[in-house]
Structure 1
């Protein structure tokens, strides 16, 4: 079964499928031990690869190269990839989709923002005319083979949100995402206009959307939940804390608990597990 069809089958199953946002190979190595699905977040990738905010700096060859490394290390995991607006042009979007499917991505998210783009939970978002976005989306859908395609709208006006959600649900896209959705009531309203089309909900710490459990999302009829930044923000906090402590102790490293602490042995075991996983698949 193809990677796209495996993810499609998982989404069609009971409950809400969680996909954990990863931003580099090390965060993915840790996430892989907890969940069987990953989300390549544009926010996390822009931050980690470029040290820049998620406002359109990502170059598609960098994203494709990263996903290729992920698939090589984690052959059994679902990989959903944020491709922003398809890197502006519909032809480029199709080229990127072909490349991602060839290297083993499970799915992509294509948004309707126009440049300059913004994080889905930020102010100042602008969207393309719906007809223009639908042309791009239809070209991507005609290009993919089995890849899961999530159609995303960043509309902010209430009537436009519902109109676009219904329009996206009427296409052959596999899943619909309204990003930056602000309340449980709005999840219900989007669920109603989307009909039977699977829904995706994006949770990001400090973002616009409510914090909901997988059980709560399942009760609301949400099929997929992406957690864009838990690894990135946890790393930020832990690194800042560790370096603050290093300064406080005049540069003396802390004792490392051989069972629970993270030191060179723990890190090496984690990375050796990736090597073992690749060898098992080859065998």
Structure 2
């Protein structure tokens, strides 16, 4: 299966492509019940694998290994991976891209931040000189074969956002992402500036960007919507609530209720990851 071409076809179709942020194999198993596309965000990965904010701690072999586990369990899903700044230098970025494409990743996002990096929706971001980033992006584009490449800028100054959006649209990147965009008006302007190049929008709870539905994003000319952290934040809230209740009840588990998850429901979810792979192989 040509995973890059499959994602590219979806991006270029008339319907918007939603990709759900997953941070471990279990969250991906839940997401797979509802959506056919995953996004591995640096925020979620750093939180899940290291218990740290995504400010430069991710080691690229860890990200590659996680992508490989995802692809084995979910052979038919779109899989877009955030590789931050390509792990600093051109050579590493290209090596990671080749590794990810070899194991079946659908696409990557590479940004123009410099270290120490920050989440795209917080203050304090610093960006590389445009020409330096374009050199790295060009190297990555030359290294890929079929992989979808999303060019991302973290510029915050309006004039610089527009300058970089125009520059990214002129490259061979498949998609453009302006992270932390703050208004619908800004989305409209960026859409006009980049012409026919597909546009990706990233929204995160408590972030800089407005909360918009898929129909609203479609009307604004957005082609791909990534949801970086809804599962991560929901897990944090639910686990906190469950443990507070457990303490309040002196360690007694709650009474089973209709629709609650127990052993049987959890095993059924996980067994799908085995049968799904077998079904793909049988139909090949």
The TM-score bracket by the shorter chain reads over 0.9
CA distance in structure 1 between the aligned counterparts of 2:277 and 2:254, rounded to whole angstroms: 34
5 Å-filtered alignment, 1:4-153, equals 4-153=4-153
Match of 2:280 in 1: 281
Match of 1:218 in 2: 218
Match of 1:233 in 2: 233
Instruction: Tell me how far 1:49 sits from its aligned partner.
Output: 0.2
CA contact (8 A) 1:15 1:215 kept: no
Instruction: Tell me how far 1:16 sits from its aligned partner.
Output: 1.4
CA distance in structure 2 between the aligned counterparts of 1:282 and 1:59, rounded to whole angstroms: 32
CA distance in structure 2 between the aligned counterparts of 1:95 and 1:137, rounded to whole angstroms: 13
Q: How many residue pairs are counted as aligned between the two chains?
A: 282
CA distance in structure 2 between the aligned counterparts of 1:197 and 1:280, rounded to whole angstroms: 35
CA distance in structure 1 between the aligned counterparts of 2:14 and 2:146, rounded to whole angstroms: 21
1:270 partnered with 2:269: yes
| SS across alignment from 1:7 | helix
CA distance in structure 1 between the aligned counterparts of 2:208 and 2:274, rounded to whole angstroms: 39
Match of 1:193 in 2: 193
CA contact (8 A) 1:37 1:77 kept: yes
| SS across alignment from 1:240 | helix
In the TM superposition, what whole-angstrom CA distance separates every residue of 1:84-116 from its partner, at most 9, and x where no partner exists?
000000100000000000000000000000000
In the TM superposition, what whole-angstrom CA distance separates every residue of 1:37-95 from its partner, at most 9, and x where no partner exists?
00001100000000000111100000000000000000010000000000000100000
In the TM superposition, what whole-angstrom CA distance separates every residue of 1:181-215 from its partner, at most 9, and x where no partner exists?
00000001111110100000001000000000000
CA distance in structure 1 between the aligned counterparts of 2:128 and 2:278, rounded to whole angstroms: 45
TM-score, structure 2 as length reference = 0.98
Match of 2:244 in 1: 244
Instruction: Tell me how far 1:15 sits from its aligned partner.
Output: 2.4
Long gaps (5+) in structure 1: none
CA distance in structure 2 between the aligned counterparts of 1:56 and 1:222, rounded to whole angstroms: 29
Instruction: Tell me how far 1:282 sits from its aligned partner.
Output: 2.5
Superposed structure 1 runs of 4+ greater than 3 Å apart: none
Instruction: Tell me how far 1:256 sits from its aligned partner.
Output: 2.0
Long gaps (5+) in structure 2: none
1:260 partnered with 2:255: no
CA distance in structure 2 between the aligned counterparts of 1:95 and 1:48, rounded to whole angstroms: 24
| SS across alignment from 1:43 | helix
CA distance in structure 2 between the aligned counterparts of 1:118 and 1:214, rounded to whole angstroms: 27
CA distance in structure 2 between the aligned counterparts of 1:118 and 1:199, rounded to whole angstroms: 22
Instruction: Tell me how far 1:14 sits from its aligned partner.
Output: 1.3
TM-score, structure 1 as length reference = 0.99
5 Å-filtered alignment, 1:156-195, equals 156-195=156-195
In the TM superposition, what whole-angstrom CA distance separates every residue of 1:7-41 from its partner, at most 9, and x where no partner exists?
00001111211000000000000000100000001
In the TM superposition, what whole-angstrom CA distance separates every residue of 1:222-265 from its partner, at most 9, and x where no partner exists?
000000001000000000000000001000001223x5111111
